[in-house]
Amino acid sequence: MVYIVAARLTIAEGLGIEIHLGLKQQQWPSQRLLKPWRQNVGSQSALMLYKFYCSSPSYNNNPSCSRRLNPTTWWSSLDLDGHTLLLMMKAALTPTIVVALARIPAVSHVTDATNDAAALVAVTSHVLMPRGKFVKVMLFNVLAVCLGACVACMALVSATRAGKGDRRVDATTPKTQKGYSSDANTVSAVWLIVVIWLANAMRSWRPIELQSPVIAFSIFTCFNITQYGGFETFEAGVEYMLSLLRSMLIAFAVASVVSLFILPMTSRTFFLKDARDYSLKVQAVLQQQSGFVRMTVENPAVWFADGLPRRFQPIQSSEAVDGTDFSTKLEESKQKVHLEMSSLGSLFSKLQVDLLYSKQEFAIGKLSTEDAVRIEELLGSLLLPLSGISMLPRMLDMHIKNERNYQMKVLERDSEEEILQKQAELHKAITTLQKHLSETATLAATGIQYFLLVTKLMSRRHFFKYRESEPPATVPKDEESRDIDLDPLEPYFVVRFERLMHETFCRRRHFPGQLASLAFNDAREGSNNRASSKKTREIITSGPQIRLEFFLVLYMGHMQDILLHTTHELIKFADSKVADGTMTSYRAVFPTDTSLKRWFSLVQEEPSEPSDSTPDENQGGEEVHPQDSEHMPPANLWEKSSHIFRLIRRVIISEHSLFGFRVAAASFCVGILAFLERTSSFFIPRRLVWVMILIVIGMNPTTGETCVGLMSRIIGSTISVFLSLIVWYTVDENTAGIIILLYFANMFEYWFYIKRPQVLDSSVIAIATLNEIIATKLEVREAENPELAGLANRPTWVFALHKILAVGVACGLMIFWTIFPFTITAKHKMRRMLGESIFVLAEFYSATHTNSALWFSGGLRDGLRDPQALLRQLERVIRRLFRKEMVLLDELREYSHFSKFEPAIGGKFPRRIYDDIILEVQCSLTAMALMVKTTQSLEKLLPLPLPQEPTTSAEQTTNHEQKIEQQTEQDEGRKESLRLGEPKDKAEKKRQEKEWFTQLGKVALETVDFKSARLASFLSHLSASVTNKLPLPPYLSAPSSFPLSRRMQKMNKNLLHVRYLEDPAFTAFITLEVLRSIVAWCMRDLLSNVKKLVGELNFEYHISRTESHGEAASLVAGGPAEESEEKESDEDSSSSTDESQGKSMTC
């Protein structure tokens, strides 16, 4: 009804007739809703229809109709901005131009009825890739097609020679062929199987580099080899092969021109844009973290394990945490922190990929390739401390989960006064931490904005626009926090930034000393308070208890120091580029020789690095065992030369070879029709080679990857069929109109290609289907012998519907050959990759453990200055293992997503357990990487010398007040140091700090757990059990939390005294303890989840006991008689059952 009214209104408007609908003004929607409609539609008739519909009762009863009917809502749901529209227009040009070129007689004469293949190749060229990546992929595409031509020539020679004198001619044989030859078709079939098998095995080996080249190679070989059985002479086959080669090269040429000259895009542009977005995202992460800390001020119980004791619960807040769960607001804040950090990590991953290809392309700009690499390193240095700061919610959650029982026992023994003191200390610590985080967020964000402005990554216009559109801080500022007025556009920004950073460092140095006496000042007055305040002077520990809140305050302060130091490095880098004249003019940036060499290298070369054990002196006495338990190392010439047979066998039975065989088998199920006598005349006219191409494009190694896009491929092909019918019949089969409408249809389908990358393969198949239908129909209509076209000569709607059927057949074959003869599921690969990931984590921990051991021994500070030193080699090993583990974790998350689409045969897949293990491995990896970052360059984290800032007369009063405030804070710190008994003499102070560090090294290096590296063995056991599906060995236990702190407290409590807080090494040690505890807590959860997957061996013997054999049973069970007597009271209920059963023993 609505459409009929719209049509009548439009007709009436065209005839100049006035229509009054009797609408009342007060029933119309506001002009705010009408304005976007006028802007997007502009038709007065449609506007009248909109007013008429909004005045109807259905609109009054359902106000949401205005949102659904408003074109602004449609436009926003499409997310169609100007840049996306330009990309759609650019992408649609390539297949449209290729189809249009085939209508030119000069082009059609040299391509000879192979334009459908050209249209297919034009779609798979991916012209929207950045220039560097496109040039590399296009080069490999051309080389792949040329290689395919060589292979096709060899197949043609062997097929024509095999078919000599063996051809049978009948009435149905086409005039262009000379009969059927079983020998020629057999040889061609063998060539087809071998070629597809090897090509797709290579694609599985290097999917990123060889995805597009293998598709182009498979298209060329499938089109050729399926027709070689019908050629009697070599010249006829070569003529067809050359025409196909010309068509594909023309398509490649058109794609190259469109990509490089129409709206060109470079990887360098993407990299600089990603660097800007990444830098601006840092402020959002810090704001969300500051908001979480501020919310814990109102809920301090989350810092205690399981809240406070029951007798003290009325004192805590009404929104206190219940059990191990955060309150609703805290949980929301925690999720926001996690989402912001995940978004930041995704941006950095994309930034690294864009940098890789930007080093391989020519560009014109101000920053060189080395500058881009340095920017990526500095931005990566921001990610680690931000990850450490964002781990605070998870640390609190893990502490509550793992330290609940012990913490409750300690709190139950405390008096109310002691609990009040702890609560006062905790409240002050959280408040100060939130204030420091807010100041750090402001300083870091302003410093990063200065870096972006100086390096021209952000223009002033964009900066002012960003400042105006910047959302207000979600966290209200603390009343006691300072208002940092810092503008990146002011002339003396660097001096003021360094001054504020110096003041921030100084306040953090004196904060723990002020916090030590806080309980005495804020607790209840009385004589008992003075006695109890003595316990709070040593704030780091309290008896056997570890005060996590103070450990976390020092840990967060250290992370903020690293973050500000990295921000300062960004500022210095930007100023250095201005000083050396880099930012004054544009210059040509050429790819390096190393980058060009990597174009042709499919094997990723690793720099020469030592083995994972690292210390060379420890390798001399080790015995080298053979890697193969069934073969000794080859000793003679025969054993060395025969090793090649083992390599061939290993290649044939590899998973890459099996995937290639599956693709070849699935393709040959259709391709065999081209080589049988009765079906050969059916295969080519019906264009069944299209089914083979769909299988090659859409088949994936695992069941989940193959099944995830089946429905989207069928839906996309159906949409393409309907679009092809609209394009063909709307303009009454006029060629010019068909090409114009084809362009707009391609634009529509490329929206899914751009905005929905998760259905990229389905989008490519849909676009290829549309262009293949139109190209084939235009080609057949202009052919000299249309009767030879077979199915393509039938009506367009019949030919288009057969395309949907072809897609369905291809999807069915892909599913069958993914399952048969045995299934390779994402679940199976996920288990093996998870075992490998845990093993790499063990290697990474071994490297970080060596790094910590060298730091404790005092050999780290000067080691990194020598590029030939052992620590430099260790740093390269750590970087390589970290990158490898990150790649494995990304693949695990991808396979976890694919596992959702696989059928649950025999039981559901424990996907949640796998996801928890992935999260625990990721958390452990981050903590270990932060351990390495913590021990590096500690001298750089000392407060900077106070810079002299040029001031004006208007600023002198403010600076004078700041100096007085700073002097007061320093005086209070000195008084507190004297009260705590700290030494006055600086030499004595340095001597004590050196003595403290020496004792710390002795305690660490003499600890059994630290020396034995038990965690590496622990992770190796987990990896072997997961990889081989074997139960865990019995009595496997995770490491304990805060190991060195508890040991140091038992040996000498003074080693953890607050007077050492000014030493950066002490703060680094506390940070290391927090990170080691995070790893320990993650290992507990990891052990529990792995036990759920593979189980655990049980070597406990349960022996029935009687009155006469009670003592003997206790001895056999492994416990002394005294312990068994103590447990008898707990086992009375089960002893009567055991007596009735008699003697039995089970394992």
Sign of CA dihedral 735, 738, 743, 744: positive
Among 54-68, 195-209, 691-705, 1123-1137, where is mean pLDDT lowest?
Answer: 1123-1137
pLDDT in tens, 471-510: 544 444 444 445 567 788 888 888 889 888 888 877 766 6
Distances, alpha carbon 23 to alpha carbons 20, 52, 663, 708, 948, in Å: 8, 7, 65, 51, 73
pLDDT the model gives residue 300:
65
**Read out DSSP for 223-284?**
HHHTTGGG-SSHHHHHHHHHHHHHHHHHHHHHHHHHHHHSS---HHHHHHHHHHHHHHHHHH
Among 549-553, 576-580, 679-683, where is mean pLDDT lowest?
Answer: 549-553
Q: How far apart are CA 93 and CA 101, in angstroms?
A: 12
Please provide the distance, in angstroms rounded to a whole number, between the alpha carbons at the two ends of the chain: 78
Distances, alpha carbon 760 to alpha carbons 15, 709, 716, 770, 809, in Å: 47, 9, 11, 16, 20
pLDDT the model gives residue 541:
46
Contact 1048, 1003 (CB under 8 A): yes
CA 245, distance to chain mean position in Å, is 39
Q: How far apart are CA 559 and CA 278, in angstroms?
A: 19
- List the structure tokens of 241: 């092969």
pLDDT the model gives residue 590:
84
Q: Which residue has the higher pLDDT, 121 or 992?
A: 121
pLDDT the model gives residue 876:
84
**Paired residues of 180 in beta bridges:** 168
Burial (CB < 10 A; 0-12, 13-18, 19+), residue 62, is exposed
Among 35-39, 121-125, 428-432, where is mean pLDDT lowest?
Answer: 35-39
Is the pLDDT at 918 greater than 90? The verdict is yes
DSSP conformation class of 676: S
Q: Which residue has the higher pLDDT, 291 or 196?
A: 196
Picking from 329, 285, 299, 288, the residue whose alpha carbon sits closest to that of residue 474 is: 288
Q: Rounded to two decimals, what is the model's pTM?
A: 0.77
pLDDT the model gives residue 186:
92
CA 878, distance to chain mean position in Å, is 19
Q: How far apart are CA 1082 and CA 917, in angstroms?
A: 9
pLDDT in tens, 96-116: 999 999 888 888 888 877 888
pLDDT classification of 24: cutoffs 50, 70, 90: very low
pLDDT in tens, 218-255: 999 999 999 888 888 889 899 999 999 999 999 999 99
Q: How far apart are CA 535 and CA 540, in angstroms?
A: 10
Picking from 591, 586, 516, 592, the residue whose alpha carbon sits closest to that of residue 362 is: 591
- List the structure tokens of 934: 């913590």
Contact 838, 1012 (CB under 8 A): no
pLDDT the model gives residue 318:
41
Q: What residue type is assigned to position 948 of the chain?
A: Q
DSSP conformation class of 312: G
Among 673-677, 718-722, 826-830, 933-937, where is mean pLDDT lowest?
Answer: 933-937
Q: How far apart are CA 49 and CA 469, in angstroms?
A: 36
Q: What is the mean pLDDT of residues 697-713?
A: 82
Q: What residues have CB less than 8 Å from 1074, skipping those under 6 apart?
A: 395, 551, 552, 555
- Count of Cβ atoms closer than 10 Å to residue 313 Cβ: 11
User: Cis bond leading into 213, ω under 30°?
Assistant: no
pLDDT in tens, 387-415: 988 888 888 888 777 766 666 666 666 66
Is the pLDDT at 648 greater than 50? The verdict is yes
Is the pLDDT at 1031 greater than 50? The verdict is yes
pLDDT the model gives residue 1082:
92
pLDDT the model gives residue 209:
78
Q: How far apart are CA 1081 and CA 1088, in angstroms?
A: 11
Mean residue pLDDT of the chain comes to: 74
Q: What residue type is assigned to position 989 of the chain?
A: K
Instruction: For the chain, state the CA radius of gyration.
Output: 36
Is the pLDDT at 459 greater than 90? The verdict is no
pLDDT the model gives residue 245:
93
pLDDT classification of 1103: cutoffs 50, 70, 90: low
Q: Which residue has the higher pLDDT, 434 or 960?
A: 434
DSSP conformation class of 364: E
Sign of CA dihedral 1096, 1101, 1103, 1108: negative
